[in-house]
Amino acid sequence: MLLARAPRSPAALSRAFGPSAVVLLVGVLTLFIPTMFEVATSEWTLQQGGHGPIVVATGAWLLWRELSRTRPPTSPGNLALGTGVLAPMLAVYVLARITGVLEIEAFAMYFALIGAAYLLFGGALLRAVWFPLVYLALALPPPDSVVAAVTQPIKIAVSQSAVALLHWFGYPIAGSGVTIEIAQYQLLVAAACAGLNSIISLSAICIFYSYIRHRSDPKAFAVIALSVIPIATFSNFVRVLVLILITYYFGESAAQGFLHDFAGLTMFTVALMTVFGIDSIFTRLRDWRASRIR
């Protein structure tokens, strides 16, 4: 007589593999703890990495949620494919650890852990939790070369747009590159005001929101996810605009103090309201189109 076997719960995954699960746990602790400790004590204490703890907490919740809902089958992955990912990533990890390149070390750790998970649990489990795995990567520090390449054109575009708008309204303002002069003051649009720093944070918020709300609707998820960079650029434009006006009316010290932080809160408020607005418009258009088809 054949009996149907109930799907394994996430809590039973580690028990299912015995010694292999112990090996995985030791490997995770060996790679994860020292690297993430350095990330937490160096990158997460800075403005550009402040979103890291939030991403880790929400990503861990998403990971457990997806495992609990889908309960994917588990079986060891292809040895050649898994080793082909794990071995070079471990080599890169060791080299980056020795040379002290934290960004490469963190991403090598990330892909090495994914390779190890594939070897032990198989591709079905990784496919079931693909979004939490991608989302958790946002907690890792990006390479400085990527930061520089993406930040510079955004800073220039934001500063030039702010100068053009205020000049059109009659303000005594001029700009060259990322340097802005208004009245007797001179401002430098730094990466913290317009660049990849806020884009990563806003990307995490927008992607998390769109996945939770539109997990079963790929089109809606794609629309909101692809709007991340335009939303971040627009919200940064608003922040720079506010800082310029604060400097003009209240002085440079006011712009660099409390009101600077207030401008940052304004940026995130604008970004979230824009996300909600795009979501609302898309949902109404979709419902209206569906009603017309009926």
Q: Of the residues 65, 69, 193, 284, which is catalytic?
A: 193
Residues making up the chain, counted from first to last: 294
Check residue 247 and give its pLDDT. 84
φ, ψ (nearest 5 deg) of residue 173: -135, 145
Annotation marks residue 239 as catalytic: yes
Cα within 13 Å of Cα(129), Cβ side: 27
Domain boundaries defined on the chain? 10-140, 145-287
Q: Are 134 and 75 in contact (CB under 8 A)?
A: no
- Three-class SS state of 101: coil
Residue 192 predicted with pLDDT over 70: no
Which of the two residues, 14 and 145, has the higher pLDDT score? 145
- Range with the lowest mean pLDDT among 131-140, 149-158, 189-198, 265-274? 189-198
Which of the two residues, 61 and 268, has the higher pLDDT score? 61
Give the model confidence (pLDDT) of 43-82 as tens digits: 887 766 777 888 899 999 999 988 888 888 878 788 888 8
**What residues have CB less than 8 Å from 9, skipping those under 6 apart?**
68, 71
Q: Of the residues 206, 239, 286, 294, which is catalytic?
A: 239
Residue 17 predicted with pLDDT over 60: no
Q: Are 142 and 196 in contact (CB under 8 A)?
A: yes
Q: Which residues of 58-89 are buried (b: 16+ CB within 10 A; e: fewer)?
A: bbeebbeebbeeebbebeebeeeebeebbeeb
Check residue 209 and give its pLDDT. 82
Q: Give the C-alpha separation, 82 to 117, whole Å.
A: 9
Check residue 152 and give its pLDDT. 75
Annotation marks residue 289 as catalytic: no
| pLDDT level of residue 91 (50, 70, 90 thresholds) | very high
Residue 262 predicted with pLDDT over 80: no
Which of the two residues, 117 and 260, has the higher pLDDT score? 117
Q: Fill in the amino acid letter for 126.
A: L
Give the model confidence (pLDDT) of 106-165 as tens digits: 999 999 889 888 888 888 889 888 999 999 998 888 776 776 677 777 778 888 888 899
Q: Give the C-alpha separation, 222 to 260, whole Å.
A: 33
Q: Dihedral sign, CA of 101, 82, 55, 15?
A: negative
* Residue range 180-199: mean pLDDT, rounded: 67
Cβ-defined contacts of 82-90 (< 8 Å, 24+): 82/115, 82/116, 82/118, 82/119, 83/115, 83/119, 85/111, 85/112, 85/114, 85/115, 85/118, 86/112, 86/115, 86/116, 86/119, 89/115
